[in-house]
Amino acid sequence: MERLGICFSGGPNATQIVNCVKLAEELGYESAWVAEGHGGDQFAILAACATATSRIQLGTAITSAFVRSAPTIAMAAMTVDQLSQGRFILGIGSSHKVQVEPEHGQVYTKPLTRVRETVELVRALMADGNVHYHGQTLKIDQFELWFTPHRKRLPIYLSAVFPKMTELTGEIGDGLILTRSTLESGTTMRKHLVAGGERSGNDGAKMPIVSLLPTAIGDSKTDACDKLRPGFAAYTGYFPRYAKMTAEQGFADEAAAIAEAWARGDHDAAAAAVSDALIDASGIAGTPEQCRAKIEEIRASGIDVPLIAAFAKGESAEEEISAVIRACAPEG
For range 59-87, the mean pLDDT: 97
Pairing of strands 284-286, 88-93: unpaired
Say how many CA atoms lie within 13 Å of 81 toward its Cβ.
Answer: 21
Q: How confident is the model at residue 1 (pLDDT cuts 50, 70, 90)?
A: low
Output the pLDDT for position 141: 97
The arithmetic mean of pLDDT across residues 13-20, rounded, is 97
pLDDT at 124: 98
Instruction: For residue 288, count CB atoms less than 10 angstroms from its CB and return exposed for 0-12, middle for 13-18, buried for 19 or more.
Output: middle
In the chain, what percentage of residues exceed pLDDT 70? 99
Encode pLDDT of 163-186 as tens digits: 999 999 999 999 999 999 999 999
Mean of all residue pLDDT scores within the chain? 96
**pLDDT tens, 120-133?**
999 999 999 999 99
State the maximum Cα–Cα separation within the chain, in Å, rounded to a whole number.
58
Which one-letter DSSP state was computed for residue 66?
T
- Which contacts of 111-114 are long-range, i.e. CB under 8 A and separated by 24 or more positions? 111/65, 111/66, 111/165, 112/164, 112/165, 112/168, 113/137, 114/65, 114/66, 114/138
pLDDT tens digits for 156-168?
999 999 999 999 9
49: pLDDT confidence band, cut at 50, 70 and 90? Answer: very high
* Residue 242 CA neighbour count, 13 Å, CB half: 21
Cβ neighbours for 68, distance < 8 A, ≥ 6 positions apart: 76
* pLDDT value of position 331: 81
332 pLDDT more than 70: no
pLDDT digits over 248-293, tens only?
A: 999 999 999 999 999 999 999 999 999 999 999 999 999 999 999 9
Taking only the tens place, the pLDDT of each residue in 302-322 is 999 999 999 999 999 999 999
**Taking residues 6-22, what's their average pLDDT?**
96
Question: At a CB cut-off of 8 Å and minimum separation 6, what does 31 contact?
Answer: 5, 6, 56, 57, 58, 59, 89, 210, 305, 307
d(CA 261, CA 257): 6
DSSP states of 259-313? HHHHHTT-HHHHHHT--HHHHHHHSEEESHHHHHHHHHHHHHTT-SEEEEE----
Q: What confidence category does residue 150 fall into, taking pLDDT thresholds of 50, 70 and 90?
A: very high
Across residues 192-209, what is the average pLDDT? 97
Question: Which domains does the chain possess?
Answer: 5-218+287-327 (3.20.20.30), 221-286 (no CATH)
Higher pLDDT, 98 or 238: 238
